[in-house]
């Protein structure tokens, strides 16, 4: 579904709930955050809420959910942002007061319509304002070295101490400390090696004894017995 088809779908749903003065405004030449504004009027807050409920329920069946909704509690101006389409449902008094479609169609270059939500979630009156161009520039500053030298922090941080990182310095110190020293064998490692050797010797002695040889014969007989049963 294209953004225009979505706007027409929302307009049809609003008209099914007897919305009046339904208008689709093409916002693509004016802004980048949405493609269309759909503006509709309900006779009272109860009807504006019914219009919004119908749009919400039917679009939800098509996996289309708004990213944000405001003004449902008061019902004078309900705003639902569907990204490509922004729905505005007014009461007659609110639509005449804000004159949103008239304002949006009269904006010029460098102008914007500004409104904010009050603590109760009600939009403030829309104001027509001009946007000031930024005074900075998108480019490098002139003579960066001179600007850095003139800084009061240049005395403390202006002199480069070294070109190595902390990791590189620590690695160099570690290499220097271990280069001339033979590897150290810890006492517990020696004890473990002796225990391993002694354990291996004791096992060999047992296997060579009478009891060990008898046990080996029993193990071999058991293995061959299992093989016979499988065959």
For the chain, 231 residues long, give each residue's pLDDT as a single digit of tens: 899 999 999 999 999 999 999 999 888 877 778 899 999 999 999 999 999 999 999 999 999 999 889 889 889 999 999 989 999 999 999 999 888 888 777 766 667 667 666 666 555 666 667 666 666 666 777 777 788 888 888 888 777 776 777 788 888 888 887 766 666 555 555 655 555 555 556 666 766 777 777 777 777 776 656 555 555
Secondary structure class of 84 (helix, strand, coil): coil
What pLDDT sits at residue 203?
A: 62
CA pseudo-torsion sign 161, 164, 170, 173: negative
Question: 2: helix, coil or strand?
Answer: coil
The reported pLDDT for the residue numbered 119 is 66
Q: Both ends of the chain: CA-CA distance in Å?
A: 70
Kindly report the length of the chain.
231
Q: How far apart, in whole angstroms, are the C-alpha atoms of residue 77 and residue 151? A: 53
Q: What is the pTM of this model?
A: 0.51
- List strand residue ranges (DSSP E) for the chain, in order: 20-26, 36-41, 68-70, 77-81, 85-90, 111-114, 127-130
Kindly list the distances between the CA atom of residue 231 and the CA atoms of 44, 54, 220, 227, in Å, as whole numbers in the listed order: 92, 77, 17, 6
By the 8 A CB rule, do 121 and 74 touch? yes
* 167 contact partners, CB below 8 Å, separation of at least 6: none
Q: Are 88 and 77 in contact (CB under 8 A)?
A: yes
* Opening angle at CA 53, ends 51 and 54, nearest 5: 65
Nearest to 86 by CA among 73, 100, 96: 100
């Amino acid at each position: 579904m294209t953004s225009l088809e979505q706007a027409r779908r929302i307009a049809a749903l609003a008209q099914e709930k007897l919305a009046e003065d339904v208008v689709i405004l093409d916002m693509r030449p004016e802004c980048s955050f949405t493609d269309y504004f759909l503006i509709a009027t309900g006779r009272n807050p109860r009807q504006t809420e019914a219009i919004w409920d119908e749009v919400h329920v039917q679009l939800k069946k098509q996996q289309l959910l708004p990213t944000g909704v405001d003004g449902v509690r008061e019902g004078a101006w309900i705003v639902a942002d569907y990204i490509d389409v922004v729905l505005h449902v007014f009461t007659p008094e609110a639509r005449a007061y804000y004159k949103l479609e008239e304002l949006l169609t009269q904006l010029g270059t460098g102008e914007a319509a500004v409104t904010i939500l009050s603590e109760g979630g009600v939009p403030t009156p829309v104001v027509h304002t001009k946007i000031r161009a930024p005074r900075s520039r998108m480019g490098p500053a002139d003579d960066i070295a001179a600007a850095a030298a003139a800084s009061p922090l240049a005395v403390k941080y202006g002199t480069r101490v070294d070109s190595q990182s902390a990791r590189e310095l620590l690695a160099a110190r570690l290499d220097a400390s271990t280069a001339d020293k033979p590897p150290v064998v810890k006492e517990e490692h020696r004890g473990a090696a002796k225990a391993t050797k002694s354990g291996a010797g004791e096992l060999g002695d047992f296997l060579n004894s009478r009891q060990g040889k008898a046990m080996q014969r029993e193990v071999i007989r058991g293995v061959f017995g299992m093989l016979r049963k499988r065959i």
